[in-house]
Structure 1
Amino acid sequence: MDKELGKILIIDDDEDVLLAAKMLLKKHAKEVLIEKNPKKIPFLLNNDAYDLILLDMNFSKDITSGKEGFYWLEQILDKDPQAVVIMITAFGDVEMAVQALKAGATDFVLKPWQNEKLIATLNSAAKLKASYKEVSQLKQTSKVLQESSNYAFKDIIGNSHQIKEVFKIIDKVASTDANVLILGENGTGKELIARAIHQKSLRKDNVFIGVDMGAITESLFESELFGHKKGSFTDAKEDRAGRFEVANNGSLFLDEIGNLSMPLQSKLLTAIQRREVTRIGSNQAVTIDIRLICATNMPIYDMVGDNEFRQDLLYRINTVEIHLPPLRERSEDIGLLAEHFLQLYNNKYRKNIKKLAASTIKKLEKYSWPGNIRELQHAIERAIIMTDSDVLNPEDFFFLAQKPDTNNSVEADNFNLDDVEKNVIQKAVNKHHGNISKAAKDLGLTRASLYRRLEKYGL
């Protein structure tokens, strides 16, 4: 028999009523909990979630007025505004039960009840609860989708051999549910690759949720990923689904996963292994079904060797790896990308710039693009804003001149700590001809710490 009524909580100070209801309903519900003392309601609601709550209107202190029932109804709805509460009342208190409906109860049943009537009432209430959950999930999903929908462009552009190899891997892996790890420098388009995998997958009609792990503080990690219950901490003013829940049946993209501390890596691994999450302030685990895609610009295998990234977590997230080439290694794609951004910002700024001069494209192809596609995008945008011509010429990209030799010492009277640190790091990297491990050792840093500083200073 289907247990379609879910988890039921029954509160009544009459033990006979409790036992009779439990005997009847356990055939139809996943779980039936009974409680004689209404004062335990706050504790019960804090520690679990219930699909249906049956609440007596009159308790031993006040057996006729229904005030206690109204009081506890208010407490339940204050804790969970979407709680489905069915009031239990005697035959003579129908008028009071109607008042309870106005106060937020879903329905009422008369005692002694007819078994078939009680089951029918609870079935209707269960459908209402299911609709509440669906609406809540849709609202949460819609909110997160709005937040994550603002990205630069939807299509991956390129004809180079390197990017075609990436396309081949996407085609092979997309239709599976294998976890994917995307490796590449900042600005190479890791999120676009993740979205392409989702769009070619069997989950394409469900949500794609992206999370920038580098932007989440330690204190907000669990709330953002796993969700929280109202009142579980100071700013928790309403129940909130975490990104894992919102991404259920879809794809979850965890960007910059290499930035997570070891304690947060452990929490993430637990959720991935168990395929369930528990909101802060709740003891109820929520089962999740997601396609996991992760990305990082960090040297993640070196980090495993330095005990800065969990090897067991790496095994979980990299069933398939995709290495994205930097833009300097696919220079033949630069003209295509530049033309794309030309059209994009022509439309955005209502300009009518016809093309990039051939000499401009040659200049762009010779530049090393340390910021990759993102830097190219910003360069085109800036040139379009500043030019007075209808053609983008080399002089419109004067700001792309190669950086001056950073081997020179910082001026003796420059005591800016950032400048000094940047100069020392550059010297160490140059000394070891780009060998990050040796440079980090000279500087007394871990490889991961040195990579973060290289990114900070754009080196």
Structure 2
Amino acid sequence: MIDDDEDVLLAAKMLLKKQAHHVIIEKNPKKIPFLLNNDSYDVILLDMNFSKDITSGKEGFYWLEQILAHDPTAVVILITAFGDVEMAVRALKQGATDFILKPWQNEKLIATIATAIRLKQSYNQVDKLKKAKEMLEEQISKPFADIIGDSGSIKEVFALIDKVAKTDANVLILGENGTGKELIARAIHQRSLRKDNSFVSVDMGAITETLFESELFGHKKGAFTDAREDRPGRFELANDGTLFLDEIGNLSMSLQSKLLSALQARVVTRVGANQAIPVNIRLICATNMPLHKMVQEGTFRQDLLYRINTVEIRVPPLGERVEDIPLLAQHYLAYYAKKYHKLVNTIASEALDRLKRYAWPGNIRELQHAIERAVIMTDSATLQESDFLLSRSLTSGPANNTLNLDEVERTAIAKALQMHNGNISKAADELGLTRASLYRRMEKYGL
């Protein structure tokens, strides 16, 4: 509440502190920008006249404009001792939520504020739903939502999913790159009691140290240079739903501490704000890194590992589920044939045999890309062995003794990927390349 009459402020605070968690009073309207940058408010009560002998309300309208420029969803109730119907109508037209005359009746003031708070809550809910909708649309646009397979090893994973899904137990999914860890996480969510709420996925390996808190916990407008609006973090967006933290093994020790604090307290505080926000999430994490070994080496917090792995699920690499390769290949063939409007519907038996003999260091993701490329390049209704650019060094059979530089480079890259179980960073280090350079070469050679 901003009013130049200290007696009015104190009286209002005494009344309202029984109705609200926190009441802030201020005499000087010039402090409004500071207050708005420092915290968020459900309702703002704003006096219209701050200079003696001025009853026009110009100051109130000025500060109303400033508040709404900072936050278009701000709920502002204007108060004045010199109002009339014309001024009230103007206040509402300029964005005020309501208009109250002094001296007010306590019951009327409380009822007006209660209505305004409900309006603010609806604004917050709309904003949250909008952000969640954007994320949901992004997730839906991903091509494959189901786990394909009939092998014994993948059936064991299905059994674990069924056991753990209906609980709220934290789950840690372990597996090589490209094995479908996120699909496992989505399957758990879709079978859980939270399935009607958001599934929010975060790639922890892609978040920089400086943006970690903003991405996960949210920020207030003006908290840093690019913070142009209030933004909820991923924890808030996942409230009552599932939060999936992918590549959690890539977090530095300092970020692990911040994450652990949020998970233990089940509250988050937006960057630039003071108010703690409670969150209710189901946590699923995934990594291709050996977390238990990292705990022994002192690069991953043991207490964080205990927090995130009530249940562990290991996703087998494609090499352990060779019998699933024909099913997966046909699935991707149907998808990409439709996507690229190609009349391709079968894979020759010789080609399937080669796919089954290949080591697949990039796992299902590599198979997916191999099928996509083959569909694009083929002129036939049936994919042939020659349509697949697979390294012979990773396929059981005669050794490839070529001295062709491209083949040598391709073989070296494939071996590095196999050696490091598809881990791009480690393979790039092994080859003396940057990640970007390795990605370009993988694309060039269809790896």
Range into which the TM-score falls when normalised by the shorter chain: 0.7 to 0.9
Cα distance in 1 between the residues matched to 2:427 and 2:383? 35
Q: How does 1:46-195 map to 2 (within 5 A)?
A: 46-61=37-52, 63-195=54-186
What does residue 27 of structure 1 align with?
Answer: 18
- Kindly indicate whether residue 30 of structure 2 is the aligned counterpart of residue 39 of structure 1: yes
Shift of 1:306: 1.7
Specify the alignment match of 1:453 in structure 2. Answer: 429
Q: Which amino acid aligns with 1:149?
A: I
Deviation at 1:96, TM superposition (A): 2.9
Which position in structure 1 is the counterpart of 2:326? 335
After TM superposition, the structure 1 stretch with the greater mean CA deviation from structure 2, 355-364 or 91-100, is: 91-100
| Offset at residue 273 of structure 1 (A) | 1.3
Find the aligned partners of 1:210 and 1:235 in 2 and give their Cα distance: 23
Which residue of structure 1 lines up, in the alignment, with residue 317 of structure 2?
326
Aligned-partner Cα distance in 1 for 2:165–2:205:
25
Secondary structure of the residue aligned to 2:192 is: coil
1:147 deviates by 3.0
CA distance in 2, matches of 1:340, 1:392: 14
Unaligned runs of 5+ in 1: 1-9, 437-446
Q: Which runs of 4+ in 1 moved over 4 A?
A: 91-94, 447-452, 454-459
Q: Deviations over 1:151-200 (max 9, x none)?
A: 23111011111000001110011111111111000000001000000000
**Which residue is 1:372 aligned to?**
363
Distance in 2, matches of 1:280 and 1:398, equals: 48
Partners of 1:90 and 1:54 lie apart in 2 by 14
- Determine if the alignment matches structure 1 residue 355 to structure 2 residue 346: yes
Question: How many percent of aligned residue pairs carry the same amino acid?
Answer: 68
Residue identity opposite 1:453 in structure 2? D
Return the offset for 1:125.
Answer: 1.5
Give the 3-state SS of the residue equivalent to 1:166 in structure 2.
helix
The CA distance in 2 between the partners of 1:137 and 1:162, in whole Å, is: 39
1:94, CA displacement in angstroms?
4.4
SS of the residue 1:34 aligns to? coil
Choose which of 279, 283, 286 in structure 1 pairs with 2:277: 286
Residues 298 and 448, structure 1, Cα contact 8 Å, conserved in 2: no
Pair 119,435 (structure 1): closer, same or farther in 2 beyond 3 Å: closer
Tell me if 1:298 matches 2:254: no
Given the alignment of the two structures, is residue 208 of structure 1 paired with residue 184 of structure 2, yes or no?
no
Return the alpha-carbon distance in structure 2 between the equivalents of residues 121 and 450 of structure 1: 61
Q: Does 1:257 align with 2:248?
A: yes
Deviation at 1:398, TM superposition (A): 4.4
Q: Distance in 2 between matches of 1:448 and 1:345?
A: 25
Correspondent of 2:6 among 9, 15, 39: 15
CA contact (8 A) 2:61 2:91 kept: yes
- Provide Cα deviations, 1:3-51, integer angstroms capped at 9, x if missing partner: xxxxxxx222223322332233233323323222323323322222211
Q: Which amino acid aligns with 2:32?
A: I
Q: Kindly provide the CA deviation profile for residues 384-416 of structure 1, in whole angstroms up to 9, marking residues without a partner as x.
A: 222222222222224342259xxx9xx9xx9xx
Distance change >3 Å, CA 248–CA 391, structure 1 → 2: same
In terms of mean alpha carbon deviation, does 449-458 or 116-125 score higher? 449-458
Q: Secondary structure at the match of 2:24?
A: strand
> Distance in 1 between the 2:93 and 2:386 partners?
73
- Give me the whole-angstrom Cα distance separating, in 2, the residues matched to 1:389 and 1:97: 74
Q: CA–CA distance in 1 between the matches of 2:229 and 2:60?
A: 25
Which one-letter code corresponds to 1:370 in the other structure?
Answer: P
Distance in 2, matches of 1:346 and 1:435, equals: 32
Shift of 1:454: 5.5
Does the CA contact (< 8 Å) of 2:77 and 2:100 recur in 1?
yes
State TM-score, norm by structure 1: 0.85
Matched residue, 1:7: none
**Secondary structure of 1:272's match?**
helix
Which consecutive residues of structure 2, in runs of 5 or more, have no partner in the other structure? none
Q: Is the 8 A contact 2:55 2:82 kept in 1?
A: no
Q: Do the aligned residues in 2 keep the contact of 1:214 with 1:256 (CA within 8 Å)?
A: yes
Contact 1:47 1:284 (C-alpha < 8 Å) held by counterparts: no
TM-score by length of 2: 0.87
> Deviations for 1:38-79, whole angstroms, at most 9, x for unmatched residues?
233233222222111111111244542222222322232222
Pick closer, same or farther for the CA change 1:92–1:200 going to 2, 3 Å. Answer: closer
> Is the 2:171–2:308 contact (alpha carbons within 8 Å) kept by the matching residues of 1?
yes
Q: Distance in 1 between matches of 2:199 and 2:69?
A: 33
Q: Distance in 1 between matches of 2:89 and 2:212?
A: 45
Q: CA contact under 8 A between 2:182 and 2:246: conserved in structure 1? A: yes
Cα deviation 1:294-334 (Å, max 9, x = unaligned): 11111212222222111111111111110011000110111
| Conserved 8 A contact 1:303-1:448 | no
Q: Pairwise CA RMSD of aligned residues?
A: 2.9
Q: Deviations over 1:353-390 (max 9, x none)?
A: 23112222221111110010011111111112222222
